[in-house]
């Protein structure tokens, strides 16, 4: 080890003087490669019992897949838009190992987009759902007695005509997902992708915010995560006003209570599921004068549900929304009252006001950074993140589908993985992208963003990071780690069998 350290120290000096020790070339090279291996994610973990042989199996499949694509780049799936290769990813042996992997937690997901779109489509067959076709714009909403705001028709009656039903059902399906045959043509830039993205949210909003549907939808989301070996969730929610058929409405604090009750029901059904915490995340289009009301709501939520409420964020397309700087004074004043988990740097612009959100996020003491896509352009911020152990929430599929990066080999998180920056991998809005839970994002990160040599230890570190950088208390983290470790040991045993 001393010789390796000595060689690395020598490297710094020799590079600065442009002199390479040719007589010790191969030792020097080996030492440098080892130093890089130790620095990368998972590189400092030692193989535990059974992990090395399990790793041999995983890496055999990973290297075979990458070697085949290296010979024929057209076969490398992370280089292609996820919407076009979803089915091929599901055939990958590496992906099928990912599904078995105990992935710990999802720390970055949005409530109205974390359930597979087919479940949402099936919701449209429920009673009391009406449709309105106003100038070609289709709307769906639950009513006991429909309002006069539109020419509402009971959807189940409209579907009685099989010809109309086929056309209408396909129309509804298209409104629920970003899946198209030619996504690069359909979504040529970030703005085009976001327009479709927001159109889906607007369409499903009146469906999902019917209270019984909301509860079933959220329960299904937990089930999809659990079946994908995810044991804990921190969910960002705008906490919309929910409604009943009789006209009753639930305010945001009451919605948190509904979340808490459904979570308790799910944990009763699946006792080894660790749980959920809520991050209140209103849209970043609010006026400067409005932010204080949302902060006060968040503080009240924390007082009412101290162990279930995690913190506060602002959501929406960063390039089109307001900056953190606009709200900085009010946010700064509330730092001691609530935790922040800010979206920041979800942009490919450099030096813009959006890009500067990264600076304000760390100054406001954010506990994690959502996306942080642009952080490699800010070395001082990156140094601060490393020293203060602020995790970056990487969402590979979201970044690709929403137009930030076409080829995941060029994702800036490659640098973060290589330097061992605190990183977690999350799924953002899987239901809208046609994916389910977390395995798809783990596959894309492992195969497309990490080094070819990143192995099972990198995956283990990612899973552990998701618990370490969560909002779990010390006792909750200890309990969660025990459950996860048991799952991990079973996973290693299964691979070896």
Query: For the residues of 67-84, what is the DSSP string, one character each?
Result: HHHHHSGGG-GGGS-HHH
Q: What are the backbone dihedrals phi and psi of residue 116, each rounded to the nearest 5 degrees, phi first?
A: -55, 140
- Look up 371 and say whether it is catalytic: yes
Which is the catalytic residue, given 110, 343, 371, 378? 371
Structure tokens at 167: 């056309």
Strand partners, 370: 343, 393
Question: From residue 318, how far is each of 183, 191, 323, 443 by CA, in Å?
Answer: 22, 11, 7, 26
Distance CA 19, CA 271 (A): 61
Closest among 51, 49, 107 to 391, alpha carbons compared: 107
Which is the catalytic residue, given 51, 224, 297, 346? 346
Distance CA 400, CA 113 (A): 16
Q: DSSP state, 218? A: H
Task: Quickly list H helices, 50-116.
Answer: 51-71, 82-90, 93-100
Closest among 108, 106, 105, 102 to 456, alpha carbons compared: 102
Query: For the residues of 407-441, what is the DSSP string, one character each?
Result: SGGG-THHHHHHHT--EEE--BSHHHHT--SSHHH
Closest among 446, 455, 461 to 414, alpha carbons compared: 446
> Which helix (H) or strand (E) covers residue 262, if one does?
helix 252-269
Distance CA 51, CA 376 (A): 32
- Look up 346 and say whether it is catalytic: yes
Active centre residues (catalytic): 346, 371
């Amino acid at each position: 080890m001393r010789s390796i350290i000595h060689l690395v120290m020598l490297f710094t000096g020799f590079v600065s003087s442009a002199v390479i020790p040719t007589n010790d070339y191969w030792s020097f090279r080996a030492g440098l490669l080892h130093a890089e291996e130790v620095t990368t994610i998972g590189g400092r973990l030692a193989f535990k019992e059974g992990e090395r042989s399990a790793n041999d199996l995983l890496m055999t499949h990973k290297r075979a897949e990458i070697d085949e694509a290296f010979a024929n780049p057209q076969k490398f799936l992370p280089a292609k838009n996820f919407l076009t290769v979803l089915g091929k990813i599901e055939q990958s042996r590496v992906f099928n190992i990912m599904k078995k992997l105990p992935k710990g937690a999802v720390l970055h997901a949005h409530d109205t987009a974390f359930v597979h779109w087919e479940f949402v489509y099936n919701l449209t067959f429920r009673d009391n759902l009406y449709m309105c076709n106003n100038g070609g714009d289709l709307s769906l909403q639950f009513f006991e007695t429909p309002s006069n705001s539109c020419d509402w028709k009971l959807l189940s009656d409209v579907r009685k005509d099989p010809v109309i039903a086929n056309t209408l059902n396909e129309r509804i399906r298209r409104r629920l997902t970003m899946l198209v045959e030619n996504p690069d043509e359909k979504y040529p830039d970030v703005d085009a992708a976001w327009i479709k993205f927001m159109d889906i949210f607007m369409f499903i909003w009146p469906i999902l915010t019917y209270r019984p549907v909301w509860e079933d939808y959220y329960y299904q989301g937990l089930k999809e995560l659990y079946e994908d070996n995810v044991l804990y969730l921190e969910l960002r929610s705008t906490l919309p006003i929910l409604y009943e058929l009789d006209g009753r409405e639930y305010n945001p604090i009451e919605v948190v209570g509904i979340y808490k009750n459904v979570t308790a029901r799910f944990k009763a059904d699946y006792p080894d599921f660790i749980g959920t915490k809520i991050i209140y995340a209103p849209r970043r289009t609010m006026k400067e004068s409005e932010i204080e009301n949302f902060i006060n709501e968040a503080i009240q939520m924390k007082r009412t549900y101290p162990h279930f409420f995690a913190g506060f964020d602002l959501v929406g397309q960063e390039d089109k929304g307001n900056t953190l700087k606009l709200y900085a004074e009010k946010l700064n004043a509330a730092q001691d009252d609530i935790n922040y988990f800010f979206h920041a740097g979800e942009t490919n612009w450099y030096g813009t006001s959006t890009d500067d959100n990264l600076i304000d996020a760390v100054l406001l003491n954010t506990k994690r950074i959502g996306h942080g896509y642009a952080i490699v352009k800010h070395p001082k911020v990156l140094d601060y993140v490393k020293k203060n152990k602020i995790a970056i929430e990487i969402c590979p599929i979201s970044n690709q589908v929403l137009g930030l990066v076409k080829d995941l080999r060029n994702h800036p998180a490659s640098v973060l993985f290589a330097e061992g920056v605190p990183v977690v991998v999350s799924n953002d809005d899987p239901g809208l992208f046609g994916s389910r839970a977390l395995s798809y994002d783990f596959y894309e990160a492992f195969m497309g963003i990490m080094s070819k040599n990143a192995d099972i230890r990198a995956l283990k570190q990612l899973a552990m990071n998701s618990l370490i950088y969560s909002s779990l208390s010390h006792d909750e983290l200890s309990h969660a780690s025990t459950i996860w470790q048991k799952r991990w040991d079973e996973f290693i045993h299964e691979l070896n069998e």
